[in-house]
Chain A
């Protein structure tokens, strides 16, 4: 049973550049959520995709955008990178769309460093 996979594992970008992170959900899952985790902090919700649409969004600027494909995989795009965007970006998958009772399974994350 394939778990959540993310690519790349690590990424170094320069301030002002753009980055795309990728996520494949756990087999059988149709919902993908993205989180940003700063060092020593809990994950912070960015947005959630279900049925190829953004269903919910956290308190992140429009520089953060995403996409979900028909095979349920997802991308997170960040434009005009800032030093403060350096963090671990986690993807989590679940089944059945938005809802308070759905188990979310996390991928290993992408460590983004902005210099």
Chain B
């Protein structure tokens, strides 16, 4: 079951904040966040695991509500480099282990 992302698109001014949401109808093992710029590969941002563990490589924060099967990505004091499409990928109890199911993406545009 594909996770649902919201909003579909958002436009920010530099320095503004944004929240991107990812919601699943299934109980989740983990949520993975990626950013993809036009014509480039998706870049790993963060993993949030059942039980509270998080692994990430950038100064971006996220939350994972296991009971609600939801995750949110928080982009604060946005920079021009934050522009791109953000995807959440989920691993659920019903699917095979490690099989990421991606949402349709949220397009973020940061303007000067």
Contact = CB atoms under 8 A, between A and B. Distances in A.
A67 to B, nearest CB: 19
B96 interface: yes
A101 B41 contact: no
Contacts of B41: 4, 90, 106-109
A1 to B, nearest CB: 13
17 contacts: A33-B100, A40-B104, A40-B105, A41-B105, A42-B2, A42-B89, A42-B104, A43-B42, A44-B102, A56-B98, A56-B99, A98-B98, A100-B50, A100-B97, A100-B98, A101-B53, A103-B32
Contacts of B98: 33, 48, 56, 94, 97-100, 102
B30 A101 contact: yes
B44 A103 contact: yes
A104 interface: yes
* Residue of B44, B97, B100 with most partner-chain A CB within 10 A: B100
Given A45-B100, A100-B30, 17 more contacts: A41-B104, A42-B102, A42-B103, A42-B104, A42-B105, A43-B89, A48-B98, A56-B96, A90-B42, A100-B91, A102-B98, A105-B44, A106-B41, A106-B42, A107-B41, A108-B40, A109-B41
Interface string B49-63: 110010100000000
B29 interface: yes
A106 B43 contact: yes
Interface centre among B43, B49, B98 (most CB of A within 10 A): B98
